[in-house]
Structures are given as C-alpha cells and as structure tokens.
Amino acid sequence: MQLIHAIKNTPNKMKSNAIIFAALSAGLLFSCQQKTSTKETTESKIDSAQQQPVPISEPLVTHIYTADPSAHLFEGKIYIYPSHDIEAGVAENDMGDHFDMRDYHILSLDSINGKATDHGIALEIKDIPWAGRQLWAPDAAYGNGKYYLYFPAKDKSDVFRIGVATSTSPAGPFKAEARPIEGSFSIDPAVFIDTDGASYMYFGGIWGGQLQRWSSGKYDANGSKTDLQKDDQPSISPRVAKMSKDLLHFDGPVKEILIKDKDGKPLLGGDHDRRFFEASWMHKFNGKYYFSYSTGDTHFIAYAIGESPLGPFIYQGVILKPVIGWTNHHSIIEVNGKWYLFYHDSVLSGGKTHLRSVKVTGLIHESDGTITTIDPYKK
Ligand code: FUB
C-alpha cells in the first residue's frame, strides 16, 4: 500500500492516477469485456505476478463500469444507484472533465451475496431538459408513493446543479423535472429521511464539483479550480438543505455543515487528511448522526458524528482507506441487522480513474460507536 500512500497531497489528479496505475499495471490489464471470472483473474494475477494488493471484494457487475454507489432497501431488495462510467475520450484534468457520463443504470441485489441485476438505462442526459453534460454521483429516495432519483449535472452554462426525476418503480425509468432543484448547486446529493419523517439533502464537492466557487453565495466562474488556497482557515463546508414534503424542492435555505475536531475547532483547509472534499452520506446509528465523506486528494472515506442531522459533527476517523483509482465514494446501509459499505475501485479497468466498479463489504460499528477502518485490499 505504500504506493497509494505516496500520492497523498498530490495536487494533480493525473499525477496520482499515473502512480496508482503504474503500481497496478506492469503487465496487468483488465478488460470490461473479459469473460473469465473476475474474482479468479484479478486475485490470482495481482497476487502471484505482482504482489499487488488483493481486493477484499469483487465488482457487482463487470459488463459495464459503475461508480459512486448509493444503496437503499426498497421493496425487499437492495437497489444501487451508481454513476455509469464510460470511456468518453475526454482528457483527464483537475476539473474532472474525463468523468463525462451520459446515463444511469440501476442495479439490484436480492440478497447481499446475490448476483446483481442491471435494470438498463433509467435516465439519459438527452431526456433532462436543463442538462448540458456530466451525470455524476446520484442518490435515490422513496416517499409519497414514488421513487426519486437525485443527480448532479452541469447545466447549459457549465455550472453543476442538482436535478430530480421520478418513477413508480425503484428501477426506473425515471422522468426528469424540467428544471434543476431551485437553489441547488455543486454535486453529490445524498438524501436522508430521518426516523421522524423529516428529509434532508447533503451535497457539495470541491475542485471539479465547483463548491469553492460558491463561497460568496453566487457562482464565480473565474473562481479557483481546486481549494480556496486558505490552509489556515476553516475548510470549505459541505451543504445541507431540508427537503419539502413532495421531495422535489428545498424547504428553506441551504446551510453549511460544520465539521470540528475533538477539541471543538473547525477542520482547516490545509488539513487534507480530514477535511471535506465530496461524496456526502448520512446514516443514523443508536440515535446519533454519522456524516461520512471523501477527503478527495488524500483518498479517504472519513466520518464525523453529531447529535442533529444538521450538525455540527465531530471528526472521528477513517471508514475506508484509499482504493485503486483516484476517487473514493461510498454509501452505508443496514440489511437484516448487519451494516454494509458500498464503494468502488478501478481494479477492473487496470487503474483508470474514470472507469470504476461498484463493490460491497461489511461495516462494523464498535460498542463505543466508532466504525472499524476498512482496508479494501488484503495486503
Ligand atoms: O463520478 C464523478 C465524481 O467522482 C463523483 O461525483 C465524485 O464523488 C467522484 O466519485
């Protein structure tokens, strides 16, 4: 794992991806088309030929690339709402232009160890009236007898907004609303419905997710491409908005989420190992609110615990160590009394940043409420 850790704090996505890819490849090229068992092929090749990390889990599907999994239990099955990664031929850069996804496929599992079903195209960019490009990490919710698919996309002015589409089935197809959610911006929506029925959307992502360009409350097209470059100031905050009962709108203002250290001090912009980057998720365990997220350029899934869904949250530690590939993204759900982490990595594509595969593994809450850190590779 030294090679993965060596990329920490690398300011350029391309550089770090090249290092990971070099570590993994050296004669190793996995194809999405390969017909042999992925488990056998991946493990035996990595293990015997290169002494490279052996994954703890295998892709849920191998006929397409999938990423950013948001998992939910609907109608007695596990539904997974992922990004659908494609080789679009767009050069890699720090703004994430190479993530040029154009549709969503929804996956389902009858049981956690079952075979995944791909339900086909659920929504396409051409059917979203306001969208210009880049369908990034989605989420879903159920309410009012309907299913809701929430998704980020750049609008026709190249500004990320968050849209919503509805369906009578968890597998879609989904019909998009004519306009993005009013007041929405940036990426990675995660909708959490609390035990009292109140619903919240967590969202935001820096760098390609453009959150750093909203610091004045308005979009600054000439704003920074990465951080705010203020390492000694509180880091950029993820956002939360209460949702209306129809789950189609924000009900009230967008608020900033405060993540503090155990001394009560806000995490700073220069604290790349702990500060928020993208990929929000919320789960509730033993009455406490667990806000989890990716640290982006340091590649961790980290978590912080709070007493309210609106925060503040106190940083606790790492849920998932870095994966092969640049991005780290996840969701956490409970199935039949056990907890699971859905995540992705780029092993199947030979380390390509923009060609990822969704996976699942068990997650443990310790008796003190902390979460056991997961290493996605056996060595
Ligand atoms: O898939 C595109 C972007 O990569 C997501 O929106 C981020 O969370 C990262 O996984």
pLDDT tens-place string over residues 57-80? 999 999 999 999 999 999 999 999
Which of 13, 64, 99 has most ligand 1 atoms within 8 Å of its beta carbon, as the pocket-test mutant?
99
Q: Which CATH superfamily is domain 65-378 in?
A: Glycosyl hydrolase domain; family 43 (2.115.10.20)
Q: Whose CA is nearest to atom 4 of ligand 1?
A: 327
pLDDT above 90: residue 173: yes
- CA of 54 from ligand 1 middle (Å) equals 24
**Rounded to an integer, what distance in angstroms lies between the CA atom of residue 305 and that of residue 318?**
12
Query: Closest ligand 1 atom, CA of 99?
Result: 2
CB-count burial class (<10 Å; 0-12, 13-18, 19+) for 35: exposed
- Calculate mean pLDDT across residues 214-230: 92
Among the residues of 29-175, which ranges form H helices? 38-44
- Least trusted range by pLDDT, from 31-45, 89-103, 111-125, 266-280: 31-45
Residue 97 three-state SS: coil
What is the per-residue pLDDT for 13? 44
pLDDT above 60: residue 241: yes
- CA of 139 from ligand 1 middle (Å) equals 12
**Rounded to an integer, what distance in angstroms lies between the CA atom of residue 163 and that of residue 161?**
7
What is the per-residue pLDDT for 169? 98
- The ranges assigned to domains in the chain are 2-51, 65-378
What is the per-residue pLDDT for 2? 29
DSSP track, 311-324: --EEEEEEEE---S
Per-residue pLDDT tens over the stretch 19-47 = 444 444 332 323 222 222 233 333 333 44
- CA of 367 from ligand 1 middle (Å) equals 32
The residue to which tokens 């908005």 are assigned = 241
For 85, the token pair is: 């990664």
- Least trusted range by pLDDT, from 162-166, 222-226, 341-345: 222-226
Among the residues of 70-200, which ranges form H helices? none
Tell me the torsion sign for CA atoms 346, 350, 352, 357. negative
- Least trusted range by pLDDT, from 101-110, 223-232, 250-259, 289-298: 223-232
Average pLDDT, the chain: 89
pLDDT above 50: residue 277: yes
pLDDT above 80: residue 100: yes
Ligand 1 shell residues, CB under 6 Å = 67-68, 83, 99, 136-137, 187-188, 205, 278-279, 327, 329
Residue among 152, 12, 146 nearest 70 (CA): 152
Q: Whose CA is nearest to atom 1 of ligand 1?
A: 136
- Calculate mean pLDDT across residues 286-294: 99
